[in-house]
Structure 1
Amino acid sequence: MHIHFQREELIKPLGFVAGVVERRQTLPILSYLLFKAQGGNVLMTGTDLEVEVTVSVDAKIEAGGEIMLPARKLLDICRALPTDATMDLRADGNKAQIRAGRSRFSLMTMPISDFPVIQTAEWDVTLRMPQQDLKQLLQETHFCMAQQDVRYYLNGVLLETSGKKLRAVATDGHRMAVSELSLESDLGQTRQVIMPRKGVHELIRMLEDNDQPVEIQMSSNHLRVKAPRLVFTSKLIDGRYPDYSKVMPGKQAIQLKLPREGLRETLARVAILSNEKYRGVRLTLSEKLLRISTNNPEQEEAQEEIAIDFAGNGFEVGFNVNYLIECLGSLRSDEVLIGLNDPNSSCLILTPGQSSPQYVVMPMRL
């Protein structure tokens, strides 16, 4: 094998593949990526047995072939080289030689036959959309996923197809995000799959903010996303997702329309003196006034008031301030609608006049 490529064309796709590869592996082969040179392209594949990523890179190929290279070391070499460097890769036996200017690197390889490839079943659902739409769908929900929860099905994002809708749902039991987008074709029956946490984060990182199409394929055990120069495959979480529709609050007796960024900044300021462990914030509603306050065990307090259009019986309700800030930060509108009922009910956060995305945050005792 003998290949020439530009450092700038290699480093970004190499970063995608190396991001999937774990630094510490029980199987040494999983710290390597598969290089396959054919035609005018090099295909790079990396996996951790849960997620597999293949990217395509333009290259000048003198002699084709396949080789296994250590992912992190190769990425570190690329990062250390000048941005305009031309890299020359040669493989012979169990070693690979990389040259760039006056730099020389010799890397150990591993047998290609040891590299594991995710075996997928037949794809029974296929849909297409602009990749920026899929990226936005995941960005609007991913931060509500659970992390290392014993309820393993919460450690990911639910993707649900229903008619001409694709819906994403994430919850950790304390908050929930629901976002949906319209599809060009009607997929008929409802289908649900749960994409694991790592796969969600990696896919968000790889998708571009443009309208180039992506193809999503689903099977009983896997999900695959095909984008230009990228094939992303993830195992699915085997479990039944809770009925999220039962968590959605009904009609809210109180609806507050507020400047989104102004409210987010207010919460960020008062959060400075909140309890570092429980992160509670108190919202006190009174006629024409919303008081937002926090305190901590050191008997320190923070308070800020916002004028609101509200008349009626006031009350106090507590929430995790981080949850509110993250929900507000995910929205893109100038205004936000906060729906409340009473101190014991969850609040609903959404953009006025829009049904997606929606965020539900459970109250907490302060």
Structure 2
Amino acid sequence: MQINLTREDLLKPLSYVAGVVERRQTLPVLSFVLLKLQDGELTLTGTDLEIEVVARIKGLKGNNASAEIALPARKLFDICRALPADAEITIKREKEGEKATIKSGKSRFALATVPVADFPNIQSQQWEQALTISQASLKNLFEQTHFCIAQQDVRYYLNGLLLEFVDKKLRAVATDGHRMAISEIPLEKSNKSEKQAIVPRKGIQEMMRLLDDPDGMVEIQVSTNHFRAQTSGFVFTSKLIDGRYPDYTKVIPHSQSKLLKLPREATRETLGRVAILSSEKYRGVRFSLSNKSLQITAHNPEQEEAQEEVSVDYSGEAMEIGFNVNYMIEAISSLCSEYVVFGLNDPNSSCTLASPEARYPQYVIMPMRL
């Protein structure tokens, strides 16, 4: 078997697939990429058994025969990346079981292969929900929420992003138990039925990397156990986290007695400066609210202190409340408006952060004791 193509043909699709493949796998075959040539179209498949990415290279000339081969994903990607920009590449193997030869100019590489029959694939069921939206909208939805997904929480359903199909909206919710992000995008057509799907953290991170065409469209499909995103260049499939997501609406404060309108960029910079002297372990900062003033202070175990003051339109009772400064900075950075509305009730209640112009994205952050 033989496959002829250029470095430019191979590099981008291979980068899609190599991101899913882990360097250290319990099953050796999972560190390989499956190349399948048929009718002048080459597909590259990588999987870790939870996520599968299939990238397509169409219109390959001079490749009339069919071919299948599994090669080490990371090594093939590194070789391809190291070759000159206009390099011609030939992938060749005389017979099954032998090493494959990668040739380009005067360069030659012999790579191990595994039997194609050993390569796993994710079997999906009948799709219950399907819609087509712009890649930019979906990527933006993920960027506004993904950083609030829990990492290795025993409540396994928090280790993913909740996608909720409601009416003519696609909503995303993420929480790690200390903060929560909610955002949504409008859809042109109503969903067939209301449905929830929890996509694993790694799946969301991979999709954010794959959705790289701001003018392109992506088709989303959901079944009982799987989520699929499909464009002309790739097919992404992920198993869903099995579990019931908590009722996030109970966490959102329905009314707040103190609403502060702050300049977004200046507030983010202020928090960044104060964070320098916050405790590296707890990252806590104190917000002291009084007449026309918001004072932000941080202390650390070395008895060092940072203090900043922000002018605010506030004339109520004085109040002190502590927050994780990283949570505040990440939420404020994800808002795109000129100002941010900071909602509070009392020192023991969660705060909210949102744009004055839109309801979503919205962030809820629990206070912390300092």
TM more than 0.5: yes
The answer to whether the 8 Å contact 1:162/1:188 transfers is: no
Q: Which residue of 1 aligns with 2:212?
A: 208
Rounded Cα–Cα distance in structure 2 between residues aligned with 1:188 and 1:246: 26
Aligned position for 1:198? 202
Match of 1:147 among 137, 144, 151: 151
- The correspondence for 1:175, drawn from 151, 168, 179, is 179
Q: Residues 20-99 of structure 1 correspond to what in structure 2 (within 5 A)? A: 20-58=20-58, 59-60=60-61, 61=63, 63-93=65-95, 94-99=98-103
TM-fit CA distance, 1:3: 2.0
Deviation of 1:311 after TM superposition, in Å, equals 0.7
2:86 partner letter: D
CA distance in 1 between counterparts of 2:322 and 2:254 reads: 19
The alignment partner of 1:63 has SS state of coil
2:244 is the alignment partner of 1:244: no
Structure 1 portions without partners, runs of 5+: none
CA deviation vs aligned residue, 1:293-336 (integer Å, no higher than 9, x gap): 10001000001111111111110110000000101111111111
Q: 2:347 is matched with which residue: 343, 347, 360? A: 343
Identity %: 60
Deviations 1:154-204 (A, max 9, x none): 000000001111100000000000000111111143200100111111011
Query: In the aligned structure 2, how far is the partner of 1:361 from the partner of 1:161?
Result: 24
How far the C-alpha of 1:252 sits from its partner, in A, is 1.4
Aligned alpha-carbon RMSD (Å): 1.1
Cα deviation per residue 1:255-282 (whole Å; 9 max; x = unaligned)? 1111111111110110000011000011
4+ residue runs of structure 1 moved beyond 6 angstroms? none
Q: Residue 285 in 1 paired to residue 289 in 2? A: yes
| Residue 16 (structure 2) pairs with residue 12 (structure 1) | no
Alignment partner of 1:119 out of 104, 117, 123: 123
Distance of 2:257 and 2:310 partners within structure 1: 19
TM-score by length of 1: 0.98
Using the alignment, how far apart are the partners of 2:300 and 2:109 within structure 1? 55
**Count of residue pairs brought into register by the alignment:** 366
Q: CA deviation at 1:91?
A: 2.2
Secondary structure of residue in 2 paired with 1:262: helix
1:317 pairs with 2:306: no
Per the alignment, in what secondary structure is the counterpart of residue 318 of structure 1? strand
Q: Show CA shifts across 1:192-237 (max 9, x none).
A: 0100111111011100241322111111000111112110000000
User: 2: distance between equivalents of 1:229 and 1:271?
Assistant: 42
In the alignment, the residues of structure 2 paired with residue 79 and residue 261 of structure 1 have an alpha-carbon distance, to the nearest angstrom, of: 38
Distance 2:182 2:72 in 1: 39
Contact 1:273 1:302 in 2 (8 A): yes
Residues 31 and 72, structure 1, Cα contact 8 Å, conserved in 2: yes
Corresponding letter in the other structure for 2:91: L
